[in-house]
Amino acid sequence: MNSGALRGVALDLDGTLLRSDHSVSARMRSLCSALIRQGILLTLISSRPPRSVEEIARGLGLEGPWAALNGAFVVGAGREILDRSPLPEASVERLLSRYGRDERVSLNLYAGFDWIVQAIDDRVRGEVDIIGFAPTVDVGFASRPATEKILMITDEGSDDGARIAGELEALDDDVAVARSKPNYIEITRSEIDKGRALALIAASRGLSAREMAAAGDGENDVPLLRACGYPIAMGHGPRSLRQIAELVVGSNDDDSLTDALGRLFGLLPSR
């Protein structure tokens, strides 16, 4: 695609926009400001909870639109909810019944801006360290509201993430299963993914998804890259992602994505 036809860019967060210490580099911040000044639609599409995505967006000077929860929660300017797609209640009940006491996983429920867990364990503490705030504890999820996403966290370095993802795909046709990391299993309503979120965000600004570039690094970014007009994969991403990319860049710690976007939009920042 001719880069001159691109009118926006969507960025995944962890492993893409964010460095390994979960910060945004000074050069990337400069580029984001330049894109906004040029009238380029800059948006964030992440599996993170809304509160975390909103905080990062504000830090970049973005009021919206952006998407959280792997595309199940899409927000416009002024916190206007553009789309909210809860999981079917019957599916949530089945998943909690099957995995609620499974020691292989820590269950996390996301309902709008709320993050709910049954207990604070080491896996949940690791997520707290990443996103910067703590969840609400509700033993047994007794009073849960409508839930947009369930995150199952397994132990790093084990095969449980792949094994449980396979179990889930065979278990319930009403849910979509994706992994943002090998040990992070993201469960949303069927047909909900980052590609759909990109189309909704683009349409909210009178654009099509094909007028957007997009960058990501995880299995859950495959729909995002398939939907956009110029797909960019991080070099550490899985082969399934790199195979569909127009461009593969380096690490999220080396500003190679900053350089690529700067060239793509004619705004290469100075070193």
pLDDT digits (tens, 9 = 90+) for 59-73: 999 988 999 999 999
| Tokens standing for residue 166 | 């396979």
Does residue 120 belong to any structural domain of this protein?
yes
Which CATH number do you get for residue 214?
Answer: 3.40.50.1000
pLDDT digits (tens, 9 = 90+) for 122-170: 999 999 999 999 999 999 898 888 999 999 999 999 999 999 988 888 8
Q: Dihedral angle at the C-alpha atoms of 21, 215, 190, 74, nearest 10 degrees?
A: 80
Does residue 20 belong to any structural domain of this protein?
yes
Q: What angle do CA 119, 121, 124 make, to 5 degrees?
A: 90
Which CATH number do you get for residue 150?
Answer: 3.30.1240.10
- Cα–Cα distance measured from residue 44 to residue 192, given in angstroms and rounded to the nearest whole number: 16
Q: Which domain holds residue 17?
A: 3-84+192-264
Pick the last residue of a domain from 166, 189, 212. Answer: 189
101/225 same-domain check: no
Q: Classify the C-alpha dihedral 18-245-62-201 as positive or negative.
A: negative
Does residue 269 belong to any structural domain of this protein?
no
pLDDT at residue 106 greater than cutoff 60: yes
Pick the last residue of a domain from 157, 189, 221. Answer: 189
Q: Where are the alpha helices (DSSP H) in the chain?
A: 26-37, 50-59, 89-99, 122-131, 160-171, 194-204, 222-227, 239-242, 256-264
Neighbours of 141 (CB within 10 A): 16
199/69 same-domain check: yes
138/55 same-domain check: no
| pTM given for the model | 0.91
pLDDT at residue 35 greater than cutoff 50: yes
Pick the last residue of a domain from 139, 165, 189. Answer: 189
